[in-house]
Structure 1
Amino acid sequence: MLLEGKTAIVTGSGAGLGLAYAQELARHGAAVVVNDVDAEAAESAVASIRSEGGRAAACVAPVGSTEAAEQLVSTAVEEFGGLDILVTNAGILRDRSLLKMTDEDFDAVIGVHLRGTFTAVRAAFAHFKSHQVPGRIICIGSPTGQRGTFGQTNYAAAKAGIVGMVRTWALEMRRSEVCVNAVIPVAATAMTKTVPYFQKAVEADDRGEPMPDFFRKTLGFGTADDVAGLVAFLASDDAAEITGQVIGAGGDRLQVWNHPQAAAEALHAGGWDVEALQGEGRRLIEEHLQTVGEKLPELPAELRPEQG
């Protein structure tokens, strides 16, 4: 099996995308530490893995603190004898537009997503390095972190920050042969279920039917299982040459995101003072303005949400 003999931690895996990742890793032979703040959800996830012949144990802890990160690693070592794979998936939402967002809203999301990723990766890498394990780290990003979304200042900052950390860690971990990548899922979640645009896709999924091709192909939007395969692949020995990358998955689509680079450049003798910027500089900038946010195509008539 692809991950036979490996042990994985998946944060925030009591339900949703995290559960799909944990189940897929177990399906390919990995023992999995399921993490969630909800003990009942964590135990249910463990039971679902064991019922399919997999190995799993629960670690109930809110990610973010150093103590929680060390508890995750300790659980993997105590229950299964080591650690090979970390998937940082845990997250929360506190969506509000900028003037309505409180300090508490901002800090809570940053604490779980950004600090939770940082502390968990630091603890896992310490184990990998001290035990000479060529580990695999998969950090879950978001299209919001790549492009921005109205009302998600905190979430966008956290997800963009995760990608920045992944690129830095790829440099720092290369000598230890540890691979670290970011995955950008585009899938039905509790959040997308409330968005009318995705109504027909979610309804099809709830009925156990394939989503319409418009969603799966045009949008690259699918189910949690459509993303889980990428997570399992990046966790495997087959992905030993892949690190520092940002890879999207959703529906029938796989994407490799480029690293930010200049869209245009020009030189001005003596530097760019205000007068130069008012002329040549302004023209350069305005001719290369970049898009902001995700621009979704118009839904075909048959896929538009029902009124009333």
Structure 2
Amino acid sequence: MALDGKTAIVTGSGRGLGLAYARELARQGAAVVVNDVDQAVADEAVAVIKADGGRAVAVVAPVGSTETAKALVAAAVENFGGLDILVTNAGVLRDKSLLKMTDEDFDLVINVHLRGTFTCVREAYAYFKENNVAGRIITIGSPTGQRGNFGQTNYAAAKAGIVGMVRTWALEMKKAGVTANAVIPVAATAMTKTVPYFAAAVEAEERGEAMPAFFRKELGFGTAEDVAGLIAFLASEDAAGITGQAIGVGGDRLQLWSHPEAVSTEYRDGGWTYQDLAAEFPFAGSLQGVGEKFPPLPEELQPQTADSK
């Protein structure tokens, strides 16, 4: 198995995507430190991994603080003798449009996603450097962080910030042989279950059936297990040369996201005055789009309403 003898921490791994990541890492041979804020959920995740034949322990604590980050690394070292892999998956949502979003809504999401990623990565990297471990840092981004989404100021800021940190960490960690990458998953979760557009895909998964090809191929939308293979790959020696990347995965689709680059450049002798720009803004025909744009659902996949039944 690719990860025999390795130890991984997966934050927010009691259920959903995080649990899928933890189970796949364990299937590939890694011992796993599971993390959740609910003791019963964390215990059940550990039991599932052990039933699969894997090794796991749980740390029940909210991600964000340095204390939790230290506890996670300590659990890996004390229970399994070291640490090789960190997956920062923990997150919460507090979706509201800008004028309705409170300070508390903003701060909570930033603390768990952005600060939690920072504190956990800092602690893991300190262990890697001190013990000469060519470790793996795998963070979790989102299409919202790449393109924005209505009602998600806090989440978009956190996820964009995570990818920005990954680019910086790839530079800082290179000499130590540590890689840092961001995964951009698109999968059925508790959140997507409430979105009518994805109803046919989610209902198929709940029935134990394959999702319609429209979702898996055209949208790159699939199950949590569809994402887990990329997590395990990036944690392995086979991915030693991959760092500083944002890689999207979902359904049958794999994507490499570009880093921000200038898409058009113009020069003007003497610089650009207000009058120059007002007379002719040179990029008027090439402004960049925002938000995710989904194609229309095929008729057979349209959500059923009371009138259409």
Counterpart amino acid of residue 299 in structure 2: A
**How many pairs does the alignment contain?**
306
- Aligned pairs for 1:130-169 (under 5 A) are 130-169=130-169
Q: How far is the alpha carbon of 1:11 from its aligned partner?
A: 0.0
Counterpart amino acid of residue 94 in structure 2: R
CA distance in 2, matches of 1:148, 1:122: 27
1:300 aligns with 2:292: no
Alpha-carbon displacement from aligned partner over 1:133-184 (angstroms, at most 9, x marks no partner): 0000100000000000100000000000000000000000000000000000
Alpha-carbon displacement from aligned partner over 1:62-86 (angstroms, at most 9, x marks no partner): 0000010000000000000000000
- Aligned pairs for 1:212-227 (under 5 A) are 212-227=212-227
Q: In the alignment, what sits opposite 2:177?
A: 177
Q: How far is the alpha carbon of 1:299 from its aligned partner?
A: 0.2
Counterpart amino acid of residue 41 in structure 2: A
Q: How far is the alpha carbon of 1:279 from its aligned partner?
A: 2.7
Show structure 2 runs of 5+ residues with no match.
none
CA distance in 2, matches of 1:271, 1:40: 63
CA distance in 1, matches of 2:283, 2:43: 54
Q: How far is the alpha carbon of 1:277 from its aligned partner?
A: 1.0
CA distance in 2, matches of 1:266, 1:52: 58
Alpha-carbon displacement from aligned partner over 1:8-65 (angstroms, at most 9, x marks no partner): 0000000000000000000000000000001111110000000111000001110000
1:268 aligns with 2:265: no
The residue matched to 1:180 in structure 2 has which SS?
strand
Counterpart amino acid of residue 275 in structure 2: E
1:192 aligns with 2:195: no
CA distance in 2, matches of 1:288, 1:244: 28
Q: In the alignment, what sits opposite 1:27?
A: 27
1:210 aligns with 2:210: yes
CA distance in 2, matches of 1:248, 1:65: 28
Q: In the alignment, what sits opposite 1:123?
A: 123
Q: How far is the alpha carbon of 1:100 from its aligned partner?
A: 0.3
Counterpart amino acid of residue 300 in structure 1: P
Q: In the alignment, what sits opposite 1:291?
A: 289
Show structure 1 runs of 5+ residues with no match.
none
The residue matched to 1:145 in structure 2 has which SS?
helix
CA distance in 1, matches of 2:143, 2:168: 20
CA distance in 1, matches of 2:33, 2:130: 20
> TM-score, normalized by length of structure 2?
0.98
Alpha-carbon displacement from aligned partner over 1:87-106 (angstroms, at most 9, x marks no partner): 00000000000000000000
Give identity over the alignment, percent: 72
CA distance in 2, matches of 1:141, 1:226: 16
Please report the RMSD computed on the Cα atoms of aligned residues, expressed in angstroms.
Answer: 0.5
Q: In the alignment, what sits opposite 2:74?
A: 74
Q: In the alignment, what sits opposite 2:91?
A: 91
Q: In the alignment, what sits opposite 1:257?
A: 257
The residue matched to 2:149 in structure 1 has which SS?
coil
CA distance in 2, matches of 1:58, 1:79: 10
Counterpart amino acid of residue 304 in structure 1: Q
The residue matched to 2:68 in structure 1 has which SS?
helix
Q: In the alignment, what sits opposite 1:104?
A: 104
Q: How far is the alpha carbon of 1:287 from its aligned partner?
A: 1.3
Counterpart amino acid of residue 107 in structure 1: D
1:41 aligns with 2:41: yes
